């Protein structure tokens, strides 16, 4: 098992009322890793384009444990979302750094959401 294997799978947001990310799927893609996100929009679910992920060593874990994290950047045209993904104490954590590129005047933001593994 590689250090990124525990990140693989389909993950569902613990907050079923989220207005952000409903689910995230991390998959082995050839010799790399891909990330697929389903966002929540005003009119329903939105499939984001698939992004390649860059594995990172996560050195902040307690007791010096080294685990893996992922970095994936999604370009949706009007916005870019850089995501940092890791598992902390058994919970899949996704942190989004969203930058709007469309001159809409919307504020850029950061959001953290928590997920459980889909059975």
CB atoms within 10 A of CB 81: 19
Instruction: Show pLDDT as tens, one digit a residue, over the chain (119 residues).
Output: 457 888 999 999 999 999 999 999 999 988 899 999 999 999 999 999 999 999 988 776 555 556 689 999 999 999 999 999 998 888 999 999 999 999 999 999 999 999 999 97
Record the pTM. 0.89
Number of domains in the chain: 1
pLDDT of residue 4: 81
pLDDT of residue 1: 47
Range of the domain at 86: 8-117
Q: What are phi and psi of 28, to 5 degrees?
A: -70, 130
Residue 26 covered by a domain = yes
Residue 1 covered by a domain = no
Residue 30 covered by a domain = yes
Residue 2 covered by a domain = no
Residue 62 covered by a domain = yes
Query: HSE of 42 in the Cβ direction (CA atoms, 13 Å)?
Result: 0
Residue 77 covered by a domain = yes
Give me the CATH number covering residue 102: 2.40.128
């Amino acid at each position: 098992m590689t250090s990124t294997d525990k990140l693989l799978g389909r993950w569902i947001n613990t907050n079923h009322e989220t207005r952000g990310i409903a689910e995230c799927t991390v998959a082995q893609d050839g010799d790399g890793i891909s990330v697929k996100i389903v966002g929540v929009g005003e009119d329903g679910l939105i499939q984001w384009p698939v992004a390649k992920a860059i594995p990172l060593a996560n050195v902040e874990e307690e007791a010096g444990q080294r685990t893996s994290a992922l970095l994936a950047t999604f370009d949706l045209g009007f916005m870019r979302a850089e995501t940092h993904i890791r598992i902390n104490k058994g919970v899949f954590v996704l942190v989004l750094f969203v930058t709007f590129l469309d001159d809409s005047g919307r504020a850029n933001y950061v959001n953290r959401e928590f997920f459980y593994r889909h059975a």
